[in-house]
Structure 1
């Protein structure tokens, strides 16, 4: 049987050490490290995400229990105080840069979203934000209400592979539209969002930039009806009409749609005049994928409890969470693994420090093949 390093050691090779060290040198604060390095911090925090560790003490004790297997990871034992100091003081921007590099690699192997037949250059993004409750006494920077703290995680999900392409963190009271205005969406892309992003001037900016959007129309929206669009209506489409929105130029479109599954009628507004009304409805249904993304990371990774109280420590942990998600996605796409990402995570939790080929973890159990000469073929 082939001798292997630990599963974790094989996985972290996805992050080339020379590239990592270049980022570490660029994003460094304070005195030069002597025995503890950013690579140690990263491996420790990534391991915490993959194994479900909730505290600094838990992380240190877990890594110490595997001290004989840390050599192949390129790290040494470390103290809780040292890890805590690095989380608080070392710039989180380093892990943002690492996330962006891994995102680029994931996008090269991510499967194309085949639900919508757009031209090759067109991308589909799903926007939303989720609230992360925090104690105001421990996280005074995360102001939300008078006696409550919260942070808001803003995500723009790339529908090809459902990868978090745009990420930001703000105070809980920050409105979503302020973050959305900062996005640099590529021309010809489609963006889908809910009514919390309603801002007609932003709609105008998107239209002027050649970006198509789909969202729900508010019940109190002031619109000026135009001609109804010609053509045969698809099942569920009750109305397809050109409209103008109060205060901005341009022709928009209102689609009224009855969802047969829920018996709920929706009204959508879009500037996409070249797609069918049924596609407009399907695009908005696709927005549910970002809800599933938030649900997945909250249930499977550690993003509700934090290892530090500064904004830098919180952002460091969030970037590590997203790197862990991209790591699983990259493994799944690159190796064409049929198991779900949740199944992959569960298998990794049980085998992370085992010495075996990590790809074998994800292969479905198969039959043993017996060679003619009686020898057992180990695949």
Structure 2
């Protein structure tokens, strides 16, 4: 029988510790700290994410129950609730933000050749935001409405592997379209968005950055048809037109030509209108790409269900952002482990197995491959399986 390292210790082998130390040093995270370093804080919060803990007290009680095994993992000191709470409140959340970006960079390289359903050479991103409602009296700093607080997680999801390539955490009061000001256009990439991001000035900035965009138009969007291209109406495409904005301010903000595609979805019975600056794609492909935008919706649904980002362990802004960034790091870490170990199980299955085997002394590959795990997914007529394999 295997008597070596715990599963938790083996999971941590996939962490780039040198990069973590660089992030800590960048923000002086361990300055004048004698015990309970930033790395130990990260391990405790990662343990909470992997084992579905609901509070700091819950996390500390479980860690103390395993105190004989914590030394081998990397937690050298006795963990207390006050120590962990102080660390989450006072230490710079940007440490974990930068480290998450390091993990994201590694994951995107691993999933760069994955197929997401369409044979395209371009990198395709889905951009959207999700709001997490908070109590106004407990989280007064998170401005949203007069009766409640909230934060908004803006995510740019790489559809190859469903890896978040860009994440920004703001007050829920910040409108979705403002996040386009923070994006650096990647030349040749395609950004798929919903109608909330229809702003001609910002879209022209993407166009000048040699990037492509696809999004739905609003009801009151006025575009003037210049000419039409032939279409195959049997594919559901109603028309494929070259257009310009009609409203004076819109025409000034976006002086170039646009492409408007009207499509009838037989599954939902809806008539959809898309606008894009990509004139080379087939009209049906544009409609299919917008359908794959649903992946980012499933991503938000998945992380809210399987990561601890709806119940926060502390109330300060720093603590909340620290918890969210560590949750994202855990998500990407598991995705990296899945790819490097060539596991066929879904991320959901991997997380479930890890939640009950973290401190077992067994080979991680055996724990995740010896048994037969059967997953049953149900999807609606417009939903796609985010983690079906």
Above 0.5 in TM-score?
yes
Q: 1:204: which partner in 2?
A: 204
Q: 2:104: which partner in 1?
A: 103
CA RMSD of aligned residues (A): 1.5
Give the whole-Å Cα distance in 2 for the aligned partners of 1:245 and 1:337: 49
Q: CA deviation at 1:2?
A: 3.6
Kept after mapping to 2: 8 A contact 1:41/1:86: yes
Which piece of structure 1 moves more, 81-90 or 237-246?
A: 237-246
After TM superposition, the structure 1 = structure 2 runs for residues 46-85 of structure 1, keeping only pairs within 5 Å, are 46-75=46-75, 76-85=77-86
Kept after mapping to 2: 8 A contact 1:238/1:258: yes
Kept after mapping to 1: 8 A contact 2:231/2:240: no
Q: 1:115: which partner in 2?
A: 117
Q: 2:139: which partner in 1?
A: 139
Q: CA deviation at 1:230?
A: 2.9
- The answer on 1:276 being equivalent to 2:278 is no
Give the whole-Å Cα distance in 2 for the aligned partners of 1:180 and 1:47: 34
Q: Number of matched residues? A: 364
Give the whole-Å Cα distance in 1 for the aligned partners of 2:20 and 2:170: 27
Kept after mapping to 2: 8 A contact 1:57/1:80: yes
Per-residue CA deviations over 1:82-106 (Å, capped at 9, x if unaligned) read: 1101100100111111111111111
The verdict on how the C-alpha distance between 1:365 and 1:54 changes in structure 2, with shifts beyond 3 A counting, is: closer
After TM superposition, the structure 1 = structure 2 runs for residues 296-335 of structure 1, keeping only pairs within 5 Å, are 296-335=302-341
Which piece of structure 1 moves more, 150-159 or 242-251?
A: 242-251
Give the whole-Å Cα distance in 1 for the aligned partners of 2:228 and 2:19: 56
Give the whole-Å Cα distance in 1 for the aligned partners of 2:361 and 2:30: 37
Q: 2:224: which partner in 1?
A: 224
Q: 1:376: which partner in 2?
A: none
The verdict on how the C-alpha distance between 1:255 and 1:346 changes in structure 2, with shifts beyond 3 A counting, is: same
Q: CA deviation at 1:160?
A: 1.3
Q: 2:241: which partner in 1?
A: 241
Which piece of structure 1 moves more, 271-280 or 329-338?
A: 329-338
Per-residue CA deviations over 1:83-134 (Å, capped at 9, x if unaligned) read: 1011001001111111111111111211423533333xx3111000000111
Structure 1 unmatched runs, 5+: 367-379
Give the whole-Å Cα distance in 2 for the aligned partners of 1:44 and 1:294: 24
Q: CA deviation at 1:66?
A: 0.3
Give the whole-Å Cα distance in 2 for the aligned partners of 1:143 and 1:114: 37
Find the residue that maps to 2:78 and give its secondary structure: coil
Kept after mapping to 1: 8 A contact 2:7/2:364: yes
The verdict on how the C-alpha distance between 1:234 and 1:337 changes in structure 2, with shifts beyond 3 A counting, is: farther
The verdict on how the C-alpha distance between 1:101 and 1:29 changes in structure 2, with shifts beyond 3 A counting, is: closer
Give the whole-Å Cα distance in 1 for the aligned partners of 2:301 and 2:86: 30
After TM superposition, the structure 1 = structure 2 runs for residues 362-373 of structure 1, keeping only pairs within 5 Å, are 362-365=368-371
Kept after mapping to 1: 8 A contact 2:237/2:284: yes
Q: CA deviation at 1:208?
A: 1.7
Kept after mapping to 2: 8 A contact 1:253/1:272: yes
TM-score when normalising by structure 1: 0.93
Which piece of structure 1 moves more, 237-246 or 55-64?
A: 237-246
Give the whole-Å Cα distance in 1 for the aligned partners of 2:64 and 2:370: 32
Kept after mapping to 2: 8 A contact 1:63/1:77: no
Q: Which structure has the larger Rg?
A: 1
